[in-house]
């Protein structure tokens, strides 16, 4: 179970069942005062008072646009994490999958670049002097570095890991869509 740290204002804001209903109705949506009033079947002034307390606690964000008369409300990250406490884990999993994708792509590009360089060396387009060179029994060779398939293996492992992490993060996200509060 994910730990959630709340301050005194948050506890006071969550002490009312009406405010919890407002949080549930705002889950994943941006709504106006009229929309929330219709969904919860409550008076607009009552909803406004509760939204003010939720806004002060940092659970709801109020969005006013210049020149528009409607004010919209939606959940903050803190408010959303009350309803879906696993969001942080999903974000970390998704970020890890993106990092492995980037690593895998970099490994593939590096491997392909080395293979192309080897082909051009074989054709005589490049000299061996500017490349990274190693000594092999007193003879300078570039093939030991260029033909190293380790980069390809690392890239393939990163791609497989990306697919696994992405699958798990999407699965956790779908499970987490149900409200916990």
- pLDDT reported for residue 8: 81
Q: Which is more confident, 172 or 179?
A: 172
Q: 113: Cβ–Cβ under 8 A, 6 or more apart, which residues?
A: none
Inter-residue contact 162 to 101 (CB < 8 Å): yes
Percent of the chain with pLDDT over 70: 80
Number of structural domains found in the chain: 2
Q: What is the pTM of this model?
A: 0.55
Within a domain: 17: yes
Strand ranges inside 2-155, DSSP E? 31-32, 60-64, 71-75, 134-136, 139-141
pLDDT digits 0-9 by tens, 82-114? 887 777 788 888 999 999 999 999 988 888 887
Average pLDDT of the chain? 80
| The last residue of a domain, from among 83, 113, 134 | 83
Q: Which is more confident, 147 or 49?
A: 49
pLDDT digits 0-9 by tens, 108-160? 888 888 777 777 766 765 554 444 454 445 444 544 445 567 878 889 999 99
SS3 103: helix
Q: Domain limits at 92? A: 87-176
Task: State whether 129 and 96 are in the same domain.
Answer: yes
Choose the weakest-confidence range: 25-39, 55-69, 141-155: 141-155
- pLDDT reported for residue 147: 59
Task: State whether 155 and 107 are in the same domain.
Answer: yes
- pLDDT reported for residue 117: 76
């Amino acid at each position: 179970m994910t730990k959630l740290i709340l301050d005194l204002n948050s506890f006071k804001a969550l002490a009312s069942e009406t405010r919890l209903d407002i949080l549930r109705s705002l889950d994943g949506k941006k709504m106006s005062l009229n929309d929330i009033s219709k969904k919860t079947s409550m008076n607009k002034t009552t909803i406004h008072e509760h939204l003010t307390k939720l806004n002060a606690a940092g659970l709801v964000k109020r969005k006013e646009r210049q020149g528009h008369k409607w004010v919209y409300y939606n959940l903050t990250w803190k408010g959303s994490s009350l309803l879906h406490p696993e969001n942080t884990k999903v974000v970390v999993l998704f970020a890890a999958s993106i990092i492995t994708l980037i690593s895998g792509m970099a490994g593939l590009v590096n491997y392909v670049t080395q293979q192309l360089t080897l082909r051009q060396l074989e054709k005589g387009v490049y000299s061996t002097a500017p490349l990274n060179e190693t000594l092999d029994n007193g003879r300078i060779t570039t093939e030991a570095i260029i033909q190293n398939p380790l980069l390809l293996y690392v890239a393939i492992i990163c791609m497989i890991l990306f697919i696994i992490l992405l699958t798990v993060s999407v699965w956790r996200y779908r499970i987490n869509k149900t409200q916990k509060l």
